[in-house]
Amino acid sequence: MRAGSFAKLTQDKENTTQVTFHYVEGHTETFTIPIPAPQFQEEVLNFLDQPWLTFHLNDQTVFICTARLVKVEVKPAIPELQGAGIFPNSLRVSTMQRAATGRLPMNT
């Protein structure tokens, strides 16, 4: 495969960051970018302050309007982010976990 291909990016996970954007309209898009997580961590809040983000892919360029985003997920995690509005050691609760909470045992 040619340089810059997806195969090359997935082989070098230490030097890439996966970002998933969740849009107001309900759909999601995931990008793998060739920036190590520590470097991405330093810039993530600056990125989200930009009105538009631009991703150059092999076959196209994608522009994302940050005003249309409701959530951004980043892998690997960046626990070094600290400050107001940041909750360390958080856990995601799945639908099944939420449904099981508070159920009474069945008496037979």
- For 40, the 3-state DSSP assignment is helix
The pLDDT tens digits for 4-41 are: 555 554 557 779 999 999 999 999 999 999 999 889 98
Q: Where are the domains of the chain?
A: 13-75
107: confidence class by pLDDT, cuts 50, 70, 90 = low
pTM over 0.85, yes/no: no
The pLDDT tens digits for 47-82 are: 989 999 999 999 999 999 999 999 999 999 888 888
